[in-house]
Amino acid sequence: MVDENKTVEANDTAAVGKWPEYYKNLMAEVSKVIVGQEDVIEQMVVAMLGRGHALLEGVPGVAKTLMVHSLAQAMNLTFHRIQFTPDLMPSDITGTDVLQKDPVTQELGYKFLKGPIFANIVLADEINRTPPKTQASMLEAMEERKVSAGGETYPLPDPFFVLATQNPLEQEGTYPLPQVQLDRFLLYIKVDYPSLREEWDIVRDVSTGSIGERALNAIKPVLQADDMLEAQKLVTRMPASEQLIGYAWSLSRASRPAGPKDAAAPKSLEEITKWINWGAGPRGVLALINCSKARALIHGRYEATVEDINWIVDSCLRHRISPNYSGITSGITSEDIIKMLQKEIPSDQKFARPTA
């Protein structure tokens, strides 16, 4: 048994060692189409390896669709884009039973026509423009990785990864996702404008057609669906040290204001919790650990470190922490709260499993 564990570990370490090469090839393909945005793409891959879904926020026109599409192409995965609108119905996403006549026997029967959600990578564009029932059917399929229609269940393809984009919330005619639903996304990724130099290159190259949409066909698959599935299992098997768990655990618990019967946050952090309406639940802890392991894999490290957590913490927790009214009126955002937590909980202190 011990020997067996050693073999698994040795094999895994070797498999992890191959990933920097894979990732370099992937980025080489994607950069045929996209200028910059390395951090955003890395976070998307982290979410995929962590078997989660991601919410993408950014102003229009920062190549969100293009990024997702080129990743799908480089990974040889099927890709669908669903444009959410105020009049979209649940069955427009999941699919529906249609009455069909058998061409031979002329008998009538129901046949399930798969909706656009049946793809490896789904871009759910402007998910907050659609009414709640349609949002709910999307979120349910995401969570359960299957679709039910007419009493039958249809499994979604594997790997299955949803990237949802949100319109800026203050816009009219939006149905904001409730905070509870946000918690179902592993990562909340922010896409910024490109840097000065990047935007210069974009202008130069897109207008000549050498990058951007027209270049999508030039992307060759460098990974296969099976590689992704193997990597997801590998991430699960990768070890999590006490230091890693302890840091994730401390950050999440310290983000919860002490309720009447639940004093999760230590006394020394009360100064921070006075700005918080609610904090990260257990899903936050799990997200931090999973994503730091996935990032370590991309960089070819068998063991994730607290540095990996620091790199991913914003995207893991920004949608799981909400400032209260005094926080909002003082202009404190959830990102500010995350910074305060990082400052108060140094990642280089020694973490140990609690005794009770």
Partner 1 sequence: MSQDDVAEIAKWKTAYGALRTEMRKAIVGQDHVIEQMTVAMLARGHALLEGVPGVAKTLMVLALSKAMHLSFNRIQFTPDLMPSDITGTDVLQEDPVTHVPSYKFVPGPIFANIVLADEINRTPPKTQAAMLEAMQEHMVSAGGENYALPNPFFVLATENPLGREGTYPLPEAQRDRFLLHINVEYPSGSEEWEIAEKVTGGELGMKALDSIVPVLQPDDLLKAQELVLRVPVSDQVVGYAMSLVRASRPGADAWSHHKAGSDAPDSITRWINWGAGPRGVLTLISCAKARALIHGRYHASMEDVNWVIGPSLRHRIGPNYAALASGITSEEIIDMLLEQVPADKEYSVPTA
Which residues of this protein are in contact with partner 1, per CB under 8 A? 107-109, 131-133, 135-136, 139-140, 178-180, 183, 236-237, 239-240, 245-246, 248-249, 253, 256, 260-262, 264, 277-278, 281-286, 289-290, 293, 322, 353-356
Please identify, using beta-carbon distances, which residue of 17 and 239 lies nearer to partner 1. 239
Please identify, using beta-carbon distances, which residue of 140 and 344 lies nearer to partner 1. 140
Please identify, using beta-carbon distances, which residue of 199 and 270 lies nearer to partner 1. 270
Contact 188, 40 (CB under 8 A): no
Please identify, using beta-carbon distances, which residue of 67 and 272 lies nearer to partner 1. 272
In the complex, what is the shortest distance from the CB of residue 284 to partner 1, in angstroms, rounded to a whole number?
Answer: 7
Contact 23, 186 (CB under 8 A): no
Strands (E), the chain: 54-57, 79-83, 95-101, 108-114, 121-125, 146-149, 152-155, 161-166, 187-190, 276-278, 322-323
In the complex, what is the shortest distance from the CB of residue 144 to partner 1, in angstroms, rounded to a whole number?
Answer: 9
Please identify, using beta-carbon distances, which residue of 73 and 290 lies nearer to partner 1. 290
Contact 324, 276 (CB under 8 A): yes
In the complex, what is the shortest distance from the CB of residue 308 to partner 1, in angstroms, rounded to a whole number?
Answer: 13
In the complex, what is the shortest distance from the CB of residue 135 to partner 1, in angstroms, rounded to a whole number?
Answer: 7
Please identify, using beta-carbon distances, which residue of 23 and 185 lies nearer to partner 1. 185
Contact 138, 184 (CB under 8 A): no
**Cβ within 8 Å of residue 184, ≥6 positions away:** 53, 139, 142, 143
Please identify, using beta-carbon distances, which residue of 46 and 222 lies nearer to partner 1. 46
| Cα(317)–Cα(281) distance, integer angstroms | 10
Contact 122, 116 (CB under 8 A): yes
In the complex, what is the shortest distance from the CB of residue 289 to partner 1, in angstroms, rounded to a whole number?
Answer: 4
| Cα(352)–Cα(355) distance, integer angstroms | 9
Strands (E), 173-320: 187-190, 276-278
Helix pair angle (225-237, 282-298), 10° resolution: 120
In the complex, what is the shortest distance from the CB of residue 274 to partner 1, in angstroms, rounded to a whole number?
Answer: 16
In the complex, what is the shortest distance from the CB of residue 287 to partner 1, in angstroms, rounded to a whole number?
Answer: 9
Residue 82, phi then psi, degrees to nearest 5: -115, 120
